[in-house]
Amino acid sequence: MQAAEFLSLAQSEMQDRATTYDNPTGERSMAATVATFNALTGHQLTEQQGWKFMACLKLVRSEQGAYRADNFVDGAAYFGLAGEAAAKQDAA
C-alpha cells in the first residue's frame, strides 16, 4: 500500500466514525476521555496529548507481531486529530 492510500483510509475511517457515533464531525470523544482520565488520576492531559498518546499506542503495536495496516491507518488519523486539537488550542 502507498502513503496516499493510508491517508485516504484514515480519512474514510474518520468519516465512518461520524455514522458510528452519530456525530456529523466524526468521532470526537477525546476531550471527554481526557477529562475523565484527569478527574480519575489528577493528571492534566490535554486533548492534543490524548490523541498523541493513541498515536504512540499504534506505533508500539506496529512493532509487535505481524504487519497490520490498521496500525498505520489509525496512526495517521490520530496525528490528524492531534493537529486539529493543536490548531483549536492555538486559536483559543
The tens digit of pLDDT for each residue in 20-35 reads 887 877 778 899 999 9
Residue pair 30/47 in contact by the 8 Å Cβ criterion: yes
| Counted domains in the chain | 1
Q: pTM for the complete prediction?
A: 0.89
Residues 52-73: b if buried by 16+ CB within 10 A, e if exposed = bbbbeebeeebeeeeeeeebbb
Domain hosting residue 30, numbered range: 3-91
**Which parts of the chain register pLDDT below 50?**
none
Q: How many whole angstroms separate alpha carbon 40 and alpha carbon 62?
A: 29
